Structure 1
Amino acid sequence: MTRALSTPPVIASGLLASSPQPVLPATGGLLLRPWVRADAPAFLSAYQDDETRRWHTRRPSTEAQVREWFDAYRRDWEREMGGHWAITRDGVEVLGRVALRGLDFDDGVAGVAYWVLPAARGAGVASRALSALTAWAMDEVGFHRLELDHSTRNHASCRVAAQCGYLLEGTKRSAAVHDDGRHDMHLHARVRGD
């Protein structure tokens, strides 16, 4: 059964699925591109890093599992549920991940997420990738609001959000489980016109 809306959707259904997932340029020679099977070792290595593991409790343990995730990422695009990109240097060297998730075309709202491999940290990779994804999602796709949340203990992620114009809107108390227990989560958002 379809839901009757009193207002038209902000984004038309089919807009994303009608095209291949795009490759998005970012400043500093970065390129955001869909994940490919050959990226599995780099992706898996991120989740073997203590800092990444600290903030991500859902993590793959084998390259075969990573390839299953990549297949799910492709299905997410086809079903207009999300988009997942490898952050690369010139399309080759994997530096991290950026994603658009929880797409709500009716209200024009989505969530964003990212991580960066240890060797690429501190060089502005996450903020350049997030800025490129934000510009594409808002200016080309038409999202009105993008949300980002992170543990209140994750100060690096908070800095990235602020640098990219995602305003801190509040704290979601005891909202996520991490390896060391429940964490409060900061909610940041970027709204069209900010």
Structure 2
Amino acid sequence: MGGKAENVPVSSLLPFPPTIPIGSLAAGPQPVLAAAGGLVLRPWESGDVAAFFGAYQDPVIQHWHPRHPASEDEVRKWFEQYRQGWAEEQGASWAVTRGGGEVLGRMALGHMDLYAGTAICAYWVLPSARGAGVAPSALIAVSAWALGAAGFHRLHLSHSTRNDASCRVAVKAGFPLEGTKRSEAVHADGRHDMHLHARIRGDA
């Protein structure tokens, strides 16, 4: 058949309603979340640019996070993308801070699918804050909000099978290991197998 193709949203073709009502997240600001140990997770601010850029100078963060900003100007663009991602209900990124001030790390939800009710978690912690439970506390806080008030059903995360620290964070935060994705990710030193962890609504 000929004629002009109609631009029909994929969501309108699905035979079931979304797990999370479309527009419900973006209707309000990205939440500020409290975590154990006096941690506060808040949206990134302009004053965080130097701390964020400095984090990606750390060899450990560079190794496990191949994509990193080349300059502080690029960080500002990333922050704008984070704001846009929330407005479009596609993602959320938080500065993990000590009481809302000093930046200790990053926690994020990406690839948010409101129909399926799923999202991917990602995180890093600055060298000075490692070993103090910052990452698991922040991941627990984000998970409680996402699987609770936000309405997601499943959260998952992946890390290299060689990244033992990230594996411990996931397990401590209630994300059991589900399996291994062989040769899935490319790092500077070649391809890595990746562990898949997940947590669903109703898990302890």
- The residue that corresponds to 1:42 in the other structure is 51
- The residue that corresponds to 2:73 in the other structure is 64
1:44 shift after superposition = 0.8
* Matched pairs, number: 194
Amino acid corresponding to residue 135 of structure 1 in structure 2: A
SS at match of 2:183: strand
Within the candidate set 15, 28, 45, 1:6 is matched to: 15
In the alignment, is residue 73 of structure 1 matched against residue 97 of structure 2? no
- The residue that corresponds to 2:5 in the other structure is none
- Partners in 2 of 1:127 and 1:57 — Cα distance? 22
Match runs of 1:74-153 below 5 Å: 74-153=83-162
1:71 shift after superposition = 0.5
Bigger Cα displacement from structure 2, 92-101 vs 15-24 = 15-24
Amino acid corresponding to residue 102 of structure 1 in structure 2: H
In structure 2, runs of 5+ residues without a counterpart are 1-7
- Partners in 1 of 2:77 and 2:16 — Cα distance? 38
- The residue that corresponds to 2:30 in the other structure is 21
1:193 shift after superposition = 1.4
1:61 shift after superposition = 1.7
In the alignment, is residue 172 of structure 1 matched against residue 177 of structure 2? no
Instruction: Work out which of the two has the higher radius of gyration on C-alpha atoms and give 1 or 2.
Output: 2
1:2 shift after superposition = 2.0
Identity across matched positions, percent = 60
Deviations 1:12-69 (A, max 9, x none): 0001111111111111110000001110111011110011111011001211111110
TM-score normalised by the chain length of structure 1: 0.98
- Partners in 2 of 1:59 and 1:122 — Cα distance? 23
- Partners in 2 of 1:39 and 1:13 — Cα distance? 30
- Partners in 2 of 1:164 and 1:49 — Cα distance? 24
1:167 shift after superposition = 1.1
Amino acid corresponding to residue 58 of structure 1 in structure 2: R
TM-score normalised by the chain length of structure 2: 0.94
In structure 1, runs of 5+ residues without a counterpart are none
Bigger Cα displacement from structure 2, 4-13 vs 146-155 = 4-13
1:124 shift after superposition = 0.1
RMSD: 0.7
- Partners in 1 of 2:70 and 2:137 — Cα distance? 28
SS at match of 2:140: helix
